[in-house]
Chains A and B, each alone.
Chain A
């Protein structure tokens, strides 16, 4: 039955085929990425930073990016690390001797990219955060509420955000963002 085993499984993305948004806020599903939920104590941050090749941020609501990897501060001992480039993310963490937890959540999360002059207003249809550039500059991130669900928000440019969401909530997130994008265009 080797022929069956050779039949490699293909991926079906949670938001495959959806598109939407408005003239001021474009919505598109992000490409698949490797993601790590990283947990460690403060004394081990330096060692893990070296292992991952990225300085893990220690200030609330900040992120750091390097060579296609982005580390988002989610809590005093918690980061979401997203790798859109080189790969080997989990292995890099596992190779670090410092005590930590690195758990693959690449398929748990999916992401929606929101961009355009009305991006912040579209997100503010369901998110109570202050998304002005002063309060939430480029690179800022937060695990927050969007309507009735939890999302991780990352500002990737002045008018662009990445909305990380658990996969089964992605339909809801896309639906509410569509409503927000429509209203932002009015």
Chain B
């Protein structure tokens, strides 16, 4: 057996561009086949006479290969290398065969030839257009039992792999002067022209090689050679130019604003054994000054009864399979056409030795030149005839032909039927660029009209049919000049849109318009009859054009059928807008590098590694990783937190506070600016002192809080909450630039400049004292809320005397690179004295024991300083600050507002749930009147009981009252208290 026979009995010796000796093995539904390198899955299967490749979406009808390109709606297959590298819904006409590929059909059970779902075809009267909308309305219960679990599952195509994707994907941004979409004759000519000017050119084509229509059109000669060969040599010339980037296997999937273009480059999907370094696909995001759209046109099918049997395909597809892949799609082939182009398919096949049963042309007067050639080749042509039906269960066996208007039918045996209703210009990218189309009435097609961006359409997608005009147009579009001479064999005439003979409004036949969504001409008429008059409504009612092929074949037919029913001209019915992506793009490509460690930045403090080594569990706070608690051997979280809480109050604790936001506010007007941004007064704060500040928004509600230290007359060190750092800086910058631009003050984020080590507890001073130089940190010289620059371990530092625990406390700020060394020294001192490391959980408990609020936990954007018990921090003397007017609003000063209070459960062992609702009477009928909710709740080891904070209506007037927290299984009684649960006198802070 020779190699070419081995690669399929339908290979034609001498035809096609593949090398017979270079083979690849693959399986389809478990059966092994040999292909030639360069085959698509479609051409490889057809070479073995396999047409049946899938079942349709809704009716489970047997389907074959309809096209040879990305517009394929039928042949959607599951392609895999291994379990994890499996891709559903791959178009067989795009996927190249690689050695070892495992390919399977979809949407069938138990097998492709016998599919239980095919029963749907019999039931099809019940599944007409609008079935889903009508059925899913009622009853509600059916959603859970029938619609979601059964019907929707049955309706799906393909199955997504469950394994993690083992491939990686790359991403590149690029800029160019001219991007050309499509490398057929027009695109290559435009690229040669543009490149000759020295411009930076991107030439992009979705196929493995350049050439476009020259893949199938073997009759065109360019510059004295075969068109396809000219295309390859033009590509070689372009590749050699430093200003040209030529990308094949790359789809221009999106044309966005301002010349922003999305490209998906398929790097390894065609390779048998891709190198590990290679990404599977690469996302290109290109900003170009100009776009040349040279995307050609797509052939349309004929709309007639049972036009979807395996073996029925587009005429140009059959030419592609023959002229490029060397495969005959049948041995006795029929043609049904409304356009001259299909004749050339018959000529090519005939010359290759394939018998042509007949050319059935629905037109009375086809082009004279093709008629003459058909006669010369001895091909039977039936003009003024139509195909009104086909037969054959899993493959077409015959076509039924009738003279137009007549009734005498005759059956003609065929094993393949080629069809062409003419060509639809590919205006998808033009449409994506927001360009407006016009209807070319004489040729029944939409063409680019008004451009919204700097782009130009050339060739087939611009309706330019004559090849000499096309070359002139493309050369001009490139901006330079290039001399290319080309000639076609035949001029093409004809074309039709809408239903053909025998599939008109008076029939009930299944004449498919949209193959992927199983929409027939009848469905579109039903939509019109049910009152849909806009194409937008008809599309949604029937789902015509809404499959992943976006109606590349079906839109024009659907529109024409609707227009006929409505009795309105086509432009008045309208065309739906094409959206990106042009063809489906994998998630992997869109995600590119953003997975695993690069999914989102994980921000770590300078002391992260040391804390991890100390056994810390971490929690996410925004993008930060913060040490949560430090369990010792055998401790659970509860035990660890209880120990940390006790140790801090009894001896001391060390805490990483580096993530707190820090903003340096500098300038002669710094104090004045802070006066305007915070509710308290800052001009009275002396250098060397710090103060707790509240920031409200214009509406009077708390926005953020933090301690602000004054380092000098013109320099403040502002701290914010961890999560609030970026938005507080933006908020301040916003007011500075828009409301207070006259102030000489500047803001700089210094969050990451400083490593911050909080040392809290009775022994805090003893722990840090030996490390501090140049500063007396005694209680007298450096009392609570002092700040000073000093030296710690020989490093310039900022030392704050402050506390978020209610204990004697310091916060040591050192330049971040020194954080680990200083942390280590402080930790060693602390542990020698019996103190411990503590994390954010202990920090939360300790602050709650003191009634210190956390903005964002105890406040929710509707809490005023008064509500939070912080009215002491609102200056009564200032005449202006952000929020001063908001705070006077009637609703903010009325009685009965929710106020922050403490809650003590009657049973001290009960720990409330945060977020739980609070009521006065647990026995009232539902829905109960809610008084508020629990904002913070913890077990307090230091108090020996649970503690909680809550927002309660009129809370301050309810001290000592008993309220109730109804839970799912019981009701918990609580007593309203003040928020300070520990050290009510507050003496410890001044220790």
**A4 & B172 in contact (Cβ 8 Å cutoff):** no
Q: Which residue of A lies closest to B604 (CB)?
A: A168
Residue from the set A101, A149, A172 with the largest chain B CB neighbour count within 10 Å = A101
Dominant secondary structure of chain A at its interface with chain B = loop
Report the tally of A-B residue pairs with Cβ distances under 8 A: 156
Q: Chain A residues with Cβ under 8 A from B820's Cβ?
A: 12
C-alpha gap A172/B754 in the complex (Å): 20
**B750 & A103 in contact (Cβ 8 Å cutoff):** yes
Cβ of B277 within 8 Å of any chain A Cβ, yes or no, is: yes
Our pick among B200, B667, B754, B771 for the contact of A5 (Cβ within 8 Å) is: B771
Q: Chain B residues with Cβ under 8 A from A102's Cβ?
A: 666
How far apart are B334's CB and chain A's nearest CB, in angstroms? 48
How far apart are B187's CB and chain A's nearest CB, in angstroms? 23
C-alpha gap A186/B71 in the complex (Å): 31
Which 3 A/B pairs are nearest by Cβ-Cβ distance? A1-B770, A39-B746, A101-B666
Q: Chain A residues with Cβ under 8 A from B744's Cβ?
A: 41, 99
How far apart are A91's CB and chain B's nearest CB, in angstroms? 12
Cβ of B646 within 8 Å of any chain A Cβ, yes or no, is: no
Cβ of B150 within 8 Å of any chain A Cβ, yes or no, is: no
**B753 & A107 in contact (Cβ 8 Å cutoff):** yes
How far apart are A71's CB and chain B's nearest CB, in angstroms? 16
How far apart are A126's CB and chain B's nearest CB, in angstroms? 7
Q: Which residue of B lies closest to A2 (CB)?
A: B770
Q: Mark A147-186, 1 if CB is under 8 A from B, else 0.
A: 1110000000000000000111101100110010011011
Q: Mark A130-149, 1 if CB is under 8 A from B, else 0.
A: 10100100000000000111
Known A-B contacts A12-B820, A167-B816, A182-B277; the reply to A107 vs B602 at CB < 8 A is: no
How far apart are A48's CB and chain B's nearest CB, in angstroms? 13
Kindly identify, within residues 796 to 845 of chain B, every residue whose CB is under 8 Å from any CB belonging to chain A: 814-822, 825, 829
Q: Which residue of A lies closest to B744 (CB)?
A: A99
Residue from the set A101, A148, A149, A168 with the largest chain B CB neighbour count within 10 Å = A168
Cβ of B606 within 8 Å of any chain A Cβ, yes or no, is: yes
Known A-B contacts A148-B594, A183-B172; the reply to A7 vs B793 at CB < 8 A is: yes
Q: Chain B residues with Cβ under 8 A from A105's Cβ?
A: 748, 750, 753
Q: Which residue of A lies closest to B814 (CB)?
A: A9
**B597 & A12 in contact (Cβ 8 Å cutoff):** no
How far apart are A175's CB and chain B's nearest CB, in angstroms? 5
Cβ of B126 within 8 Å of any chain A Cβ, yes or no, is: no
Our pick among A39, A109, A168, A175 for the contact of B598 (Cβ within 8 Å) is: A175
Kindly identify, within residues 1 to 33 of chain A, every residue whose CB is under 8 Å from any CB belonging to chain B: 1-2, 4-14, 32
How far apart are A176's CB and chain B's nearest CB, in angstroms? 6
Residue from the set B173, B750, B814 with the largest chain A CB neighbour count within 10 Å = B173
Cβ of B752 within 8 Å of any chain A Cβ, yes or no, is: yes
A to B CB contacts below 8 Å, 24 in the list? A4-B825, A5-B772, A6-B794, A8-B794, A9-B793, A40-B746, A99-B744, A101-B745, A101-B746, A104-B753, A105-B750, A125-B173, A129-B173, A147-B593, A147-B594, A148-B601, A167-B752, A171-B597, A176-B598, A179-B168, A183-B170, A183-B279, A186-B278, A186-B279
Cβ of A37 within 8 Å of any chain B Cβ, yes or no, is: yes
C-alpha gap A41/B746 in the complex (Å): 10
Cβ of A49 within 8 Å of any chain B Cβ, yes or no, is: no
Cβ of B947 within 8 Å of any chain A Cβ, yes or no, is: no
Dominant secondary structure of chain B at its interface with chain A = mixed
Cβ of B99 within 8 Å of any chain A Cβ, yes or no, is: no
Q: Chain B residues with Cβ under 8 A from A11's Cβ?
A: 817-818, 821
How far apart are B603's CB and chain A's nearest CB, in angstroms? 4
Taking Cβ atoms with an 8 Å cutoff, the residues of B that contact A are 168, 170-175, 200, 277-279, 282, 285, 287, 593-594, 597-598, 600-606, 624, 664, 666-668, 744-746, 748-754, 769-773, 792-795, 814-822, 825, 829
Q: Chain A residues with Cβ under 8 A from B174's Cβ?
A: 124
**A168 & B170 in contact (Cβ 8 Å cutoff):** no
Known A-B contacts A7-B793, A108-B750; the reply to A130 vs B815 at CB < 8 A is: no
Q: Which residue of A lies closest to B174 (CB)?
A: A124
Q: Chain B residues with Cβ under 8 A from A103's Cβ?
A: 664, 666, 748, 750, 753
Cβ of A121 within 8 Å of any chain B Cβ, yes or no, is: yes
**B668 & A4 in contact (Cβ 8 Å cutoff):** no
Cβ of A113 within 8 Å of any chain B Cβ, yes or no, is: no
**B173 & A148 in contact (Cβ 8 Å cutoff):** no
**A12 & B601 in contact (Cβ 8 Å cutoff):** no
C-alpha gap A61/B822 in the complex (Å): 38
Q: Chain B residues with Cβ under 8 A from A101's Cβ?
A: 664, 666-667, 745-746, 748
Known A-B contacts A1-B770, A108-B816, A147-B598; the reply to A9 vs B825 at CB < 8 A is: yes
Q: Chain B residues with Cβ under 8 A from A9's Cβ?
A: 792-795, 814, 818, 821-822, 825
Q: Chain A residues with Cβ under 8 A from B772's Cβ?
A: 5
C-alpha gap A105/B666 in the complex (Å): 14
**A172 & B277 in contact (Cβ 8 Å cutoff):** no
Q: Chain B residues with Cβ under 8 A from A124's Cβ?
A: 172-174
C-alpha gap A104/B594 in the complex (Å): 32
Q: Chain A residues with Cβ under 8 A from B829's Cβ?
A: 4
Q: Which residue of A lies closest to B599 (CB)?
A: A148
Q: Which residue of A lies closest to B828 (CB)?
A: A4
Q: Chain B residues with Cβ under 8 A from A2's Cβ?
A: 770
Q: Chain B residues with Cβ under 8 A from A39's Cβ?
A: 666, 746, 748
C-alpha gap A149/B601 in the complex (Å): 8
Known A-B contacts A12-B821, A99-B744, A186-B277; the reply to A4 vs B770 at CB < 8 A is: yes
Known A-B contacts A149-B601, A179-B593; the reply to A8 vs B793 at CB < 8 A is: yes
C-alpha gap A35/B754 in the complex (Å): 14
Q: Chain B residues with Cβ under 8 A from A52's Cβ?
A: none
**B770 & A125 in contact (Cβ 8 Å cutoff):** no
C-alpha gap A4/B821 in the complex (Å): 12
Q: Chain A residues with Cβ under 8 A from B815's Cβ?
A: 104, 106-107
Our pick among A5, A14, A41, A100 for the contact of B773 (Cβ within 8 Å) is: A5
Cβ of A89 within 8 Å of any chain B Cβ, yes or no, is: no
Q: Chain B residues with Cβ under 8 A from A149's Cβ?
A: 601
**B597 & A175 in contact (Cβ 8 Å cutoff):** yes
Our pick among A5, A125, A128 for the contact of B593 (Cβ within 8 Å) is: A125
Cβ of A56 within 8 Å of any chain B Cβ, yes or no, is: no
Q: Chain B residues with Cβ under 8 A from A107's Cβ?
A: 752-754, 815-818
Q: Chain A residues with Cβ under 8 A from B285's Cβ?
A: 128
Our pick among A130, A135, A166, A179 for the contact of B752 (Cβ within 8 Å) is: A166
C-alpha gap A122/B667 in the complex (Å): 40
C-alpha gap A106/B792 in the complex (Å): 18
How far apart are A125's CB and chain B's nearest CB, in angstroms? 6
Kindly identify, within residues 63 to 101 of chain A, every residue whose CB is under 8 Å from any CB belonging to chain B: 77, 99-101
C-alpha gap A40/B749 in the complex (Å): 16
Known A-B contacts A12-B820, A135-B175; the reply to A125 vs B792 at CB < 8 A is: no
How far apart are B313's CB and chain A's nearest CB, in angstroms? 37
**A176 & B593 in contact (Cβ 8 Å cutoff):** yes
